[in-house]
C-alpha cells in the first residue's frame, strides 16, 4: 500500500510538473515586473511632484501646463504598468503577496485613464482646470468687496447674522457651476479607464484599494456608521434645538434639519464654530487656544514648531532643515495659490514639506498636527518599495495626525507652558470639553460618508449628470439631517464647492480616520501608562508610545492593513467603540438634554421660510 501511494505521488508530480513549472515562471515573471515597475515609477514621479508643488504654490497658465505635461508622462507610465499588472493577474499560480503587489501597481493612478494618450491628456487638463477654478474662486458682494474662501470661512465662524451667513454660503457656491460639465466628462473618462482594468467603475476601483472587494468595503463603511449613528443623532438633535432657540423658528426649516449656513462652517462638516450657541450659558470649554495664541503673540512658524515638538517628544527625529526652507506656511500676497492644507514628500525621501495658509486659530493648530502626521508617516516608510510607500490604508494616513491632536488638551498645554495650570476636571468642564470635540469629530462623520456615497452613485450611473445637485442634497438630508438654506436646482453644482470633489480625493479615508484615530489614541494612551478617562489622556513625552507607533508607520502598505492594525492595537477591524467610549459621558448628558424634544428629521424636503433679516 505504501509503495502504491509513493508511485501515485510520483505519477501525479510528473503529470503536474509542467503546470508547476508554468506557475513558477508566472510568479518569477510577476516579481521581475514588480521590481521594474518600481524603478520606472520612481523615475517619473519626481518631476511630476515638483511640477505639482510649483503649480499649487504659484498658479499661472504656465505652471498649469507644467503639471499637465509632467503629469501626462507619469499617467502614461501608470496606465501602461496598470495594464501589464492586470494581464499578469490573469495568470495562474501567483502567490497571495504577488497578487497584492500587482494590485498595488494596477491601482496607482487616482483617476485611471483609457489606453489612449489623447484621453490621458484630456483627463489631466480637466483635473488641472477643476483645481484652478476652485483655487482662484472668490465672492464679491454688492459693494464690490471680494473675499477669498479663507476670509469667508473666518467670517462664517464668528458671524451670528443669518443674512450675512446666507450671502457668504451662496456666494461661495457660485464658484462651482462652471465645473459641472467638466466633472461629467471626467467621470466618463475615468470610468472607462477603471473598466479597462477590470473594475465596474471608478467607485469600485477606489473601494477595492482596501484589501477587500469594493462591495465588501461599502458594506463595512455602512456597518461602522450604524454603530456610531446613535451618538451623532443625539448631537444633531441638541444642536438643532439650540440653533432654533438662538435664531428663532423663522430662520430654521422646522422639519428637524439643521440649515447648512448656520453651522459656522462653509460645508456644515463640523460645527465647532457655534460652540457658544450649542452650550449657551452653560460652562464653556476649559481653555480657548485661539485666545492663547493671540495672547502669546504666536505666529504660523510657532504653531508648526509646537507640532514638531510633539512628535519629537515621542522619540521621533526633528524635521529636516529643508522642511523649513521649502514649505509654504502662509498665503503669499503676490500670487494665487492652493491654500487647502496638504503634506508633501517631494522626492519620496527627505524633501518633506507642508502647504498651508495658516491662520492663528485652535482649529489650525490641529490641522498643522494632522499635516505633520502625514510627514512623519512619509518619512517612516520612505525606504520601502515605491508601491509600498503609503499608509496601511488611506484612513491610517489621515488618522495619525488626528490621533496626535487628541492629545492637545489642557494637560498638554500646561506641560508646554501655554497654560499656567491644568484645567479642573469637574463634570461641567468635562462635558464642555467633550462637546467642543464632538462638534468637530462626531459632526463630521455623516458628511464624510455622504461625499463618497454621492460619488459612488455618480460613478455607477445611479445618479446621472442631470440630477447631481438633487442627489447631493438628498444624501445630506438623509445622513446628516442638514438642509440647504434656500432652494437649489440643477443650475447649481454644490458638491463642487467642496475641494475634494474637483480635487478628486476619495473621502472614505476621512470617515475611517475619524474612527481609527480613537483606536490609535486608546492604544497609545495604554502604552503611555495612562489609566484615566480617555479624553483626559495626552501621550506627549511618551517614548514607549512613540516606538510602537513608529513601527506601525514603517510598515507602510507592505502588508494588508488588517495585519498592521492587529500588530498595533490587537484588533483586525475598525471599531467605533473607541470613539463611543471617548464620548460616553457626553452621550449620557445629551440624552438628558434631549428629553421631551422631538428628535429626528423629515427625509423629504419641505417648503423653506424666507431667510430672516
Residues with a known catalytic role: 371, 500
User: Whats the size of the chain, residue-wise?
Assistant: 613
582-585: list long-range contacts, CB under 8 Å, 24+ apart: 582/434, 582/518, 582/521, 582/522, 582/534, 582/535, 583/231, 583/434, 583/437, 583/438, 583/442, 583/535, 585/427, 585/430, 585/431, 585/434, 585/533, 585/535
Residue 369 assigned ligand-binding role: no
Q: Checking DSSP bridges between strand 482-483 and strand 258-259, what pairing results, if any?
A: parallel
| CA–CA–CA angle 79, 101, 21 (5° rounding) | 105
Tell how far CA 518 is from the center of its chain. 15
> 486 with 166: CB under 8 angstroms?
yes
613: cell is 433679516
- At which residue does the C-alpha cell 491601482 appear? 107
Other residues' Cβ atoms within 10 Å of the Cβ of residue 613: 8
CA 290 to CA 304: how far, in whole Å?
Answer: 15
Q: Checking DSSP bridges between strand 352-355 and strand 342-345, what pairing results, if any?
A: antiparallel
Q: 58: which residues sit within 8 A by CB, 6+ positions away? A: 335, 336, 337
6: cell is 509513493
CA 576 to CA 581: how far, in whole Å?
Answer: 9
Beta bridge partners of 139: 147
> 169 with 139: CB under 8 angstroms?
no
Residue 414 assigned ligand-binding role: no
Residue 509 assigned ligand-binding role: yes
Residue 245 assigned ligand-binding role: no
In the chain, what is the straight-line distance between the N-terminal and C-terminal CA atoms, in Å?
96
CA 387 to CA 384: how far, in whole Å?
Answer: 8
169: cell is 454660503
Alpha-helical segments (H) within 107-148: 117-135
CA 420 to CA 410: how far, in whole Å?
Answer: 10
Feature table: binding site for Zn(2+): 370, 374, 398
Amino acid at each position: 500500500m505504501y509503495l502504491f501511494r509513493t508511485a501515485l505521488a510520483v505519477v501525479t508530480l510528473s503529470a503536474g510538473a509542467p503546470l508547476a513549472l508554468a506557475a513558477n515562471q508566472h510568479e518569477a515573471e510577476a516579481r521581475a515586473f514588480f521590481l521594474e515597475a518600481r524603478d520606472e515609477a520612481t523615475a517619473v514621479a519626481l518631476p511630476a511632484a515638483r511640477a505639482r508643488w510649483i503649480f499649487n504654490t504659484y498658479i499661472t497658465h504656465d505652471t498649469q501646463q507644467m503639471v499637465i505635461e509632467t503629469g501626462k508622462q507619469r499617467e502614461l507610465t501608470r496606465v501602461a504598468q496598470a495594464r501589464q499588472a492586470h494581464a499578469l493577474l490573469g495568470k495562474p499560480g501567483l502567490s497571495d503577496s504577488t497578487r497584492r503587489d500587482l494590485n498595488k501597481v494596477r491601482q496607482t493612478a487616482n483617476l485611471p485613464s483609457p489606453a489612449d494618450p489623447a484621453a490621458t491628456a484630456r483627463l489631466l487638463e480637466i483635473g488641472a482646470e477643476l483645481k484652478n477654478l476652485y483655487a482662484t474662486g472668490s465672492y464679491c458682494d454688492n459693494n464690490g468687496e471680494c473675499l477669498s474662501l479663507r476670509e469667508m470661512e473666518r467670517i462664517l465662524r464668528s458671524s451670528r447674522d443669518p443674512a450675512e451667513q446666507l450671502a457668504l454660503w451662496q456666494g461661495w457656491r457660485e464658484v462651482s457651476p462652471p465645473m459641472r460639465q467638466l466633472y461629467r466628462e471626467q467621470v466618463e473618462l475615468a470610468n472607462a479607464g477603471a473598466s479597462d482594468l477590470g473594475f465596474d467603475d471608478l467607485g469600485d476601483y477606489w473601494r477595492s484599494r482596501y484589501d477587500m472587494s469594493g462591495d465588501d468595503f461599502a458594506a463595512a463603511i455602512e456597518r461602522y456608521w450604524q454603530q456610531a449613528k446613535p451618538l451623532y443623532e443625539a448631537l444633531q438633535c441638541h444642536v438643532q434645538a439650540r440653533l432654533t432657540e438662538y435664531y428663532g423658528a423663522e430662520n430654521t426649516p422646522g422639519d428637524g434639519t439643521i440649515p447648512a449656513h448656520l453651522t459656522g462652517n462653509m460645508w456644515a462638516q463640523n460645527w465647532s464654530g457655534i460652540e457658544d450657541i450649542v452650550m449657551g450659558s452653560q460652562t464653556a470649554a476649559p481653555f480657548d487656544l485661539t485666545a492663547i495664541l493671540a495672547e502669546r503673540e504666536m505666529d504660523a512658524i510657532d504653531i508648526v514648531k509646537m507640532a514638531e515638538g510633539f512628535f519629537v517628544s515621542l522619540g521621533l527625529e526633528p524635521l529636516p532643515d529643508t522642511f523649513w526652507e521649502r514649505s509654504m506656511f502662509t498665503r503669499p500676497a503676490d500670487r494665487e495659490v492652493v491654500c487647502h492644507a496638504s503634506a508633501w514628500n517631494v522626492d519620496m525621501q527627505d524633501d518633506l514639506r507642508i502647504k498651508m495658509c495658516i491662520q492663528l486659530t485652535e482649529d489650525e493648530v490641529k490641522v498643522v498636527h494632522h499635516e505633520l502626521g502625514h510627514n512623519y508617516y512619509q518619512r517612516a516608510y520612505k525606504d520601502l518599495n515605491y508601491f509600498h510607500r503609503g499608509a496601511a490604508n488611506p484612513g491610517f494616513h489621515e488618522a495619525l495626525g488626528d490621533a496626535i491632536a487628541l492629545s492637545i488638551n489642557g494637560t498638554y498645554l500646561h506641560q508646554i507652558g501655554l497654560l499656567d495650570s491644568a484645567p479642573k476636571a469637574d463634570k461641567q468642564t468635562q462635558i464642555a470639553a467633550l462637546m467642543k470635540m464632538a462638534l468637530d469629530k462626531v459632526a463630521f462623520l455623516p458628511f464624510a460618508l455622504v461625499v463618497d456615497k454621492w460619488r459612488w452613485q455618480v460613478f455607477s450611473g445611479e445618479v446621472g449628470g442631470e440630477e447631481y445637485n438633487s442627489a447631493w442634497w438628498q444624501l445630506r438630508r438623509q445622513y446628516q439631517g442638514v438642509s440647504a438654506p434656500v432652494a437649489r436646482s440643477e443650475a447649481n453644482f454644490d458638491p463642487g464647492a467642496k475641494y475634494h470633489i474637483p480635487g478628486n480625493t476619495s473621502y472614505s479615508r476621512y470617515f475611517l480616520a475619524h474612527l481609527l484615530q480613537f483606536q490609535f489614541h486608546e492604544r497609545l494612551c495604554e502604552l503611555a501608562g495612562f489609566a484615566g478617562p480617555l479624553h483626559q489622556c495626552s501621550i506627549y513625552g511618551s517614548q514607549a508610545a512613540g516606538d510602537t507607533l513608529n513601527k506601525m508607520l514603517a510598515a507602510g502598505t507592505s502588508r494588508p492593513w488588517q495585519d498592521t492594525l492587529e500588530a498595533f492595537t490587537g484588533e483586525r477591524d475598525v471599531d467605533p467603540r473607541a470613539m463611543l467610549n471617548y464620548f460616553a459621558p457626553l452621550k449620557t448628558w445629551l440624552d438628558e438634554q434631549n428629553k421631551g424634544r422631538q428628535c429626528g428629521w423629515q427625509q423629504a424636503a419641505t417648503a423653506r421660510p424666507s431667510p430672516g433679516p
